Amino acid sequence: MVKVAVNTKSGGHGFGTGVAVSKDHIVTNCHVVDNANGISVSKWGVEYAPVSMQADWKHDLCILKFEWADFKPVKIAESDAMQYEQPVISISMPSDSPAPYVELSAIKALYPMDDGEVIRTKAAFAIGASGSPVFDYSGNLIGISTFKSPGRNAYFYNMPVKWVRALLQQPAMQFDAARALPFWDAPEDGRPFFMQIVLPFQNNRWADVQKIASNWRNAEPNNAEAWFYLGAAAQNQNDSTNALKHFNKALVLHPNHPASLQAVALMAHSRATWRR
């Protein structure tokens, strides 16, 4: 793992985190190196500048190629199978930290997107940690920390390593090649439903949650997350019948969906308490 240093075209400085996926390649987030006038990484006090780049702008993943750096690569997960509540390890290099910051966490949600799954974990990351690696407990790289939702109770999202493996097969490009915004920086109504729903859910705007979750369910009828949020909206609008139906539908699609299991258990406990 390395700290990625950037000189911006406006004369400023920026930092991110990167991880070696081969002896010549470092993966980080594209937003770390976007608008850069100079990029470097440091290994044992020696700075190296990349010679080319591979970019997946939509998914905010950029791979920098170096010569003579001879990095020690991490092991990339071969399987894309991940589970809710699977324990993970996040290692980052925040801007104000002289040493790596390690956090033990768990996968809280998996959001199907394109041909992969965006990973939400409890592992918080700060400025300078963009591009940091997420490992499973076997030491395999499974994701790259990328963005978070607004607010104090932020959700933290990581791009799946499947997209990194695919990007390694793409041709290199020059640093002045045309850019594009990542999906998470699109206008609000153009963002994935799992992003649109966070603030309404956290701020108890249940009519908005119901509207977004309904659109989500219609677009992705086999998505357990959409059904869970429909259940939460119904429950908080005093419609326990539909709430239970929606939670159970989520569990049909994903029998171990933690939030739906908890919601159904709490509803059952509430009914039992009321009967007593």
Provide the pLDDT for residue 273: 62
Span 167-178, mean pLDDT?
Answer: 87
With a cut of 70, say whether residue 244 has pLDDT above it.
yes
Asked whether the beta carbons of 19 and 30 are under 8 A apart, the reply is: no
Of 167, 197, 229, the residue at which a domain comes to its end is 167
- % pLDDT > 70, the chain: 96
Return the minimum-mean-pLDDT range out of 127-131, 136-140, 179-183, 232-236. 127-131
Evaluate whether residue 215 is within a structural domain.
Answer: yes
Closest alpha carbon to 61 in 105, 25, 100, 7: 25
User: Looking at the 3D structure of the chain, how many domains does it have?
Assistant: 3
- Of the two residues 34 and 184, the one the predictor is more confident about is 184
Domain endpoint, select from 41, 73, 105: 73
Same domain, 137 and 92: yes
Per-residue confidence band for 138, with pLDDT thresholds at 50, 70 and 90: very high
- At residue 182, the pLDDT reads 95
C-alpha 87/C-alpha 151 separation (Å) is 25
| CATH at residue 246 | 1.25.40.10
d(CA 171, CA 123): 32
Full domain range(s) for residue 114: 75-167
Among residues 15, 5, 16, 25, the alpha carbon closest in space to that of 141 is found at: 25
Assigned domain for 249 exists:
yes
Q: How many CB atoms lie within 10 A of CB 203?
A: 12
Residue 109's nearest CA partner among 248, 264, 228, 274 is: 228
Of the two residues 229 and 150, the one the predictor is more confident about is 229
Which one-letter DSSP state was computed for residue 186?
Answer: S
Question: Is position 123 within any domain?
Answer: yes
Assess whether 55 and 79 both reside in one domain.
no
pTM: 0.90
pLDDT at residue 96, rounded to an integer: 61
What's the rounded mean pLDDT across residues 178-182? 86
Helix (H, G, I), strand (E, B) or coil at 75: strand
What element of type H or E holds 250? helix 240-253
State the CATH number of the domain containing residue 148. 2.40.10.10
The predicted model gives 14-30 an average pLDDT of 93
Distance between CA 91 and CA 184 in Å, rounded? Answer: 22
What the block records as the tokens of 139 is: 């030491």
pLDDT tens digits, one per residue of 57-88: 999 999 999 998 999 999 999 888 899 999 99
Name the more confident of 53 and 35. 53
Is 276's pLDDT higher than 70? no
Domain identity same for 128 and 191: no
Asked whether residue 121 is domain-assigned, the answer is: yes
Residue, of 11 and 95, whose pLDDT is higher = 11
Q: Is residue 180 part of a domain?
A: no
pLDDT of residue 97: 66
pLDDT of residue 43: 78
Q: Same domain for 23 and 48?
A: yes
Mean pLDDT in the chain?
90
3-state helix, strand, coil in the chain (%, to 5): 30, 30, 40
For residue 30, the SS3 value is: helix
Judge residue 128's burial from the number of C-beta atoms within 10 Å of its C-beta, 0-12 exposed, 13-18 middle, 19 or more buried. Answer: buried
Q: Among 58, 73, 88, give the residue marking a domain's end.
A: 73
**Is 181 within the bounds of a domain?**
no
Q: Is the pLDDT at 210 greater than 80, yes or no?
A: yes
Confidence of residue 113 (pLDDT cuts 50, 70, 90): very high
Helices 258-275 and 240-253 cross at an angle (nearest 10°) of 140
Residue 238 pLDDT greater than 80, yes or no? yes
